[in-house]
Each structure stands twice: as C-alpha cells, then as structure tokens.
Chains A and B, each alone.
Chain A
Amino acid sequence: MFSVFRDLVRYNIEFTIGLILVGIMVVFAGLSFFAPMDPSLIYMAPPDQPPSTQYWFGTNSRGQELFWQLSAAFKNSLQFGITVAVLSRIISITVGLAAGYLGGWVDRVLMFVNDIFVAVPIFPILVLFYFVLRNNMDSFTMALILACFGWPFDARLIRSVALGLKHREFTRHAVFAGMSTRKVLVEEHLPYVMPIVFATFMNNMLWSIGMEVTLAVLGFTNINNPTIGTVLYWANSHSAMVVGVWWWLVIPVILIVMTFLGLFLLAMSMNEYIDPRSRLRRMGA
C-alpha cells in the first residue's frame, strides 16, 4: 500500500497536486475543532471588515469571522460528502459484487433496478424532498437520499470487474475449498475492486458536495447550518457583490475551486493508476 502511494507521488504530478490541495483543505476544515466561537452565532465580530491581520478572511455582513465560518463550512461539507460516499459505496459494492458473481436472474434484476436509478433525474426528487420535509431535512437525511441515488454508475463498474473475477482460478479454488458465497465475495473479490472503490469515492464526494451547494444556494436546505452552499446563500441574500463585500464571495469560491480540483485530480490519477497500460507509459517503461 505504501509503495503504491510512493510511486503515485513520484510519477504522477496530478496526484501530488491533488493531494496537496485536498490536504490543505482538510487541515483548514480541521481547524474548526479549535474555533473560538460557535459558527452558527451571528454578530460576534464587527460586520463588513475587509481581510486584515486580525480577521484573516474578513468578516461578513452577519458579523461572523469568515475564516472560522468557512472552516466550519468546509468541515460540514466534507463530512457530508464522506457520509454520502461511504453509504453509496456500501450499496454499490454489494450490488456490483452480487450481480457479477451470482449472475443469472439476480444479475438481471439488479441491473434492471440499476438502470432505473441511472435514468431518474435526481435534482427534482431532491427538491421534492425539501418541499415536503422543509426544515426537517437535515444534512444526514439529505446524505441518505443522495446515497440512494449515487450508487448505480459505480455498481455497474464493480460488476464488470466481478464478472471477470468469477471465472478466475482462485475463485474456483475458494468454492471447492468450501467457502460460502459471502466469504468468496468479501475475502476474495473485494480486494480486487478496492482501487475502483477509492477512485469512485472521490468522484462521488464531488458529486454530492456539488448537489449540496446547488440546493443550499437556492435556500433548499437548513440554511443555519454552515456549509459551503449556505455560506454562498447568505452572501447572495445580502447581495455581497453589489454592496462591495467581495471577500464574502471571492474567498469561498477560490476555496471551493481548490477543493473540487484537488478531489478531481486525485480521482483521475487513481483511475489512471488502475489501468496498467497508462501506468507503464507514465513510468517510462
């Protein structure tokens, strides 16, 4: 595992940049555990102060220090993204491995369901959930809903790998040795799909955080919970650009772009790493 990591850093500039960007953002989000004040409180600092040595990222019109506000926002959003990614990974691994290994009608039924989930547009459904739940929709409920829609692409990918594994020698050995189906899947096949799981993990986080931002800027989430989206929502609702509080929008946008670019580069370089042909080309072999 460590040598894979070392190779990636050495031969893959995208991976290194991605790692640095995501690392910065994780440290920044982690700072929120040492925040001097509760990020949901307002009028804790003089409003509309530009960035200075005292207020690093300035303060917003609601009297919050943007540095701590954004730190908490990124912590919540990253947490949200990780929750969705973990939950949907569990579904996609289960479905993908089972469909690939068991085959037959199990495969057909699962893939039929899979295709349905791919085709349903998620955004109207999410808005509908907000519409009926209103303020009962906290970030965990939303994570659950997104996880229910975030698995089908990756389940298909995992299935295609599992299909190939099914006819390999070691699977036959495991079955003849008396391993149960569950054991074959978890102990023999799961390690082979782990690289895909990691790569899609990042992509899934990108997708879910993007969805959260979108819903939040429309005001369709709990707007008092600081997340990347709600910071932008409040900036918009105070017309930050028009009244000249540019740092309230520009700084979050820069940080968001950094996060997304970092996660994307990680996902892409891992994807490339999984494909041995492109890996060899990169290492000059």
Chain B
Amino acid sequence: MHSYLWFAGKRLLQLIAVIFFGVSAMFFVTYLSPIDPVEQVLGRLASRSNLSPDAIASTREALTAMFGTDQPMMAQYFNFWMRVLRGDLGASLMAFPTPAMELVMRSMPWTLGLLLTSTFITFVIGNVMGGLAGYFQNNRFFKAFGILAMGLQPIPYYIVAFIILIIFGFLWPVLPISGGFAMDVRPSWTLPFILSVLQHSLLPAFSLVLVGLGGWFIGMRALVSNIVTEDYVTYAELAGVKRNTVVGSYVMRNALVPQITALAMVIGGVFSGTIITEQVFNYPGMGSLLVDAVNAGDYSTVLAVCTVSITAVATAIFIVDMLHPLLDPRVRAE
C-alpha cells in the first residue's frame, strides 16, 4: 500500500507539471505572437458594420481592459493563471455574453461520451481479437482480420471519417451523418432523445473505432505471439490447464500490462481524432466549438477549449496510469 501511494504521488506531481507546462505554453504562444487580440477582435467587428471612430476607441479600451494587454508580461501571466484557476476565461465573443467556459462545458459531455465509448470499444475488441490472433496463429479468419486492420490503421482519421461520410451520405443514406440529435426531439432524459443521440453517434463512433482498432490488434498480436513461446505457457498447456484459462489468465493478462501503458500514451492522439471526427460529422462537441471559435476569431473560447482539453487529457492519462498497478503486481511491490 505504501508503495502504491508513492507511485500515485509521483504521478500526481507529473499531472500537475503537465497541466502547468501546457497552460503556460498556451499563454506564451498567445503572448509572444505578433498579433494583438484586441486589434484582431476590432478588425472583425469593424468589417461587419460601420462603427464611428469614437465607438472604435471605446471598444478598444474595453477590450484592452478585458484582455489586460496593457500590463507587463508577468502580471498578465499571473492574471491568466488566476482566471484559469477560477475557471473564468472571459465572455465568448461569438456568443456574447455567454462565458466561454459555459460553452465548453456545454459541449464537453458530447466529446467525452464519444471519446470514452469509442476508446473502450476499440480497446476491448482490438485486444481480444489481437490476443486470439496471436494465440491461434494459423486461423484464417484472424489472418484476414489482421490484413484488414493493418490496411486501415495508417490512414489518417480525417480520410476514414470522410470515406464513411461519402458512403453513408451519398451512396447508402441510412444513418444520420450530421448533428448530435434529430431536429424534432427536445434535449431531455426521455427515450426518444436518448435513441436519437445514440443513432447520431453511430457513424462518428464507428469511424473512430475503425481507425483505432488496427493499432491495438497489431500490438496485442505481437505481444501474445511472444508470450505463447514462454515455457510457463507450454507447461500450463501440458499440465492440462483449460484452454480458456490459459488464454485468459496466463497469456492475455500478462500481455495487457504494456497495452494499458500504451492506452495512456494514445489518449492525446485519440482526442485529436475526436475533434476531427466531430468536425466531419458536424457533431456538437468541443472540436466543432474549437473550429467555430477559430473561424469567428473568438479568443476566449479558443483559450478555454485548449485549457480544458489539456487538463482533461492529462487527467485521463493519470487515471489510466493509476489502473496500472492493479494489473501488474510488480508495480505494487516496487
């Protein structure tokens, strides 16, 4: 138990460091960039309507006060951190005066739901199939599955999502290709709404699963095909241990440990994929929000999405790392 706490403490320190580093990097990117947020917002406002010079001057003053761009760097940095800690990154400019954080919180459940379910499905199917393919190396079905998974694996998220969009949008329109739920249902905890949400999430989730499957499959197959050559597996087989027990508890469980580490490492990448998938399928999550905010020049919302996503991804990695000792007794005993 003591060593587990030590392990957890180290990881927690790392989590804090990641968030600190990521959010600081964000601040310095925006601070050191040659473009002034105030002028950028003003330019957007002025391009849409005719403003009198007085109005422009007072808007500039108000924006400068809001962004605090007239203060020295360290003061700005400090203020920025205070605002991040309070969870208040200012009002969104594209949906004024809704706070940017509220927009992010509204879209977060969509992204989280999509990310968690698709990652879970991918991880389970990929590892089980990969493990079986590694154990039964001459099985035709697993060989065919391997070739298919390998062919899909290197293709970027965008292309796969796009091909699915073309197939289900133009060639065989059976599933909804855009939006988070149907137009004619109200968001509430009722059966029609939930069904509609599930129906709309099918294609985005399917594209994420399709891309992610290959990596887990290949990794697990390689791990298992190494483990089955170990003496203890042969011994267990000769001793007449049931085949299911050998595959499940002797082979798969051992092979799963590095896969859990790998899961922690790919979460950031899967998150990027989710953002893109949302954009392709017009799903109302954080990805769509980020793209809209960039296109609208909405400074606060872009910063809010980035802060939340860095924190969320780092936390997810932390949680997965915490699961590691439960599977691997060596980490516990360390």
Q: A residues engaging B (CB < 8 A)? A: 112, 115-116, 118-125, 127-134, 136, 153, 206, 209-210, 213-214, 217-220, 232, 241, 249, 253, 256-257, 260-261, 263-264, 268, 277
Instruction: Determine the distance from Cα of A282 to Cα of B215 in the docked complex, in whole angstroms.
Output: 22
Measured between beta carbons, the chain B residues less than 8 angstroms from A241 are 166, 170
Among B34, B156, B303, the residue within 8 A (CB) of A213 is B156
For the complex of A and B, 3 pairs with smallest distance between CB atoms? A264-B154, A123-B272, A132-B33
The reply to whether A214 and B30 contact each other, CB–CB distance below 8 Å, is: no
Q: Decide yes or no whether B158 CB sits under 8 A from chain A.
A: yes
Measured between beta carbons, the chain B residues less than 8 angstroms from A206 are 154
Instruction: Determine the distance from Cα of A242 to Cα of B33 in the docked complex, in whole angstroms.
Output: 39
Measured between beta carbons, the chain B residues less than 8 angstroms from A134 are 35
A146 → chain B, closest Cβ, in Å?
12
User: Known interface pairs A116-B21, A119-B18, A128-B26. Does A214 touch B153 (Cβ–Cβ under 8 Å)?
Assistant: no
Measured between beta carbons, the chain B residues less than 8 angstroms from A220 are 294
**Per-residue A-contact encoding for B311-323, CB less than 8 Å = 1, 0 else:** 0011001000000
Give the residue name and chain of the A residue nearest to B317 (CB): A119
The reply to whether A217 and B272 contact each other, CB–CB distance below 8 Å, is: no
Q: Decide yes or no whether B155 CB sits under 8 A from chain A.
A: yes
The reply to whether A132 and B18 contact each other, CB–CB distance below 8 Å, is: no
User: Known interface pairs A132-B35, A133-B35, A214-B158. Does A122 touch B272 (Cβ–Cβ under 8 Å)?
Assistant: yes
Instruction: Determine the distance from Cα of A217 to Cα of B290 in the docked complex, in whole angstroms.
Output: 14
Measured between beta carbons, the chain A residues less than 8 angstroms from B326 are none
Interface residues of B in 202-219 (CB under 8 A from A): 218
The reply to whether A128 and B154 contact each other, CB–CB distance below 8 Å, is: no
Q: Decide yes or no whether B157 CB sits under 8 A from chain A.
A: yes
**Per-residue A-contact encoding for B289-309, CB less than 8 Å = 1, 0 else:** 011001100000011011001
The reply to whether B294 and A127 contact each other, CB–CB distance below 8 Å, is: yes
B16 → chain A, closest Cβ, in Å?
11
9 sample A-B contacts, Cβ–Cβ < 8 Å, listed by A number: A120-B313, A122-B272, A125-B26, A125-B306, A128-B302, A132-B35, A206-B154, A261-B155, A268-B218
The DSSP consensus for interface residues of chain B is: helix
The DSSP consensus for interface residues of chain A is: helix
A282 → chain B, closest Cβ, in Å?
13
Q: Decide yes or no whether B176 CB sits under 8 A from chain A.
A: no
The reply to whether A260 and B156 contact each other, CB–CB distance below 8 Å, is: yes
The reply to whether B29 and A129 contact each other, CB–CB distance below 8 Å, is: yes
Measured between beta carbons, the chain A residues less than 8 angstroms from B268 are 118-122
The reply to whether B33 and A119 contact each other, CB–CB distance below 8 Å, is: no
Measured between beta carbons, the chain B residues less than 8 angstroms from A124 are 275, 290, 305-306, 309-310
Give the residue name and chain of the B residue nearest to A203 (CB): B154
The reply to whether B272 and A121 contact each other, CB–CB distance below 8 Å, is: yes
Instruction: Determine the distance from Cα of A26 to Cα of B13 in the docked complex, in whole angstroms.
Output: 46
B34 → chain A, closest Cβ, in Å?
7
The reply to whether B154 and A263 contact each other, CB–CB distance below 8 Å, is: yes
The reply to whether B35 and A121 contact each other, CB–CB distance below 8 Å, is: no
Measured between beta carbons, the chain B residues less than 8 angstroms from A260 are 154-156
Instruction: Determine the distance from Cα of A115 to Cα of B303 in the docked complex, in whole angstroms.
Output: 23
Q: Decide yes or no whether B25 CB sits under 8 A from chain A.
A: yes
User: Known interface pairs A132-B35, A264-B153. Does A123 touch B275 (Cβ–Cβ under 8 Å)?
Assistant: yes
Measured between beta carbons, the chain A residues less than 8 angstroms from B218 are 268
Instruction: Determine the distance from Cα of A241 to Cα of B21 in the docked complex, in whole angstroms.
Output: 43
The reply to whether B305 and A213 contact each other, CB–CB distance below 8 Å, is: no
Measured between beta carbons, the chain B residues less than 8 angstroms from A132 are 29-30, 33, 35
Q: Which of B35, B154, B314 has the most chain A CB atoms closer than 10 A to its own CB?
A: B154
B212 → chain A, closest Cβ, in Å?
14
Q: Decide yes or no whether B265 CB sits under 8 A from chain A.
A: yes
Measured between beta carbons, the chain B residues less than 8 angstroms from A112 are 14, 17
Q: Decide yes or no whether B173 CB sits under 8 A from chain A.
A: no
User: Known interface pairs A119-B314, A128-B26, A134-B35. Does A217 touch B158 (Cβ–Cβ under 8 Å)?
Assistant: yes
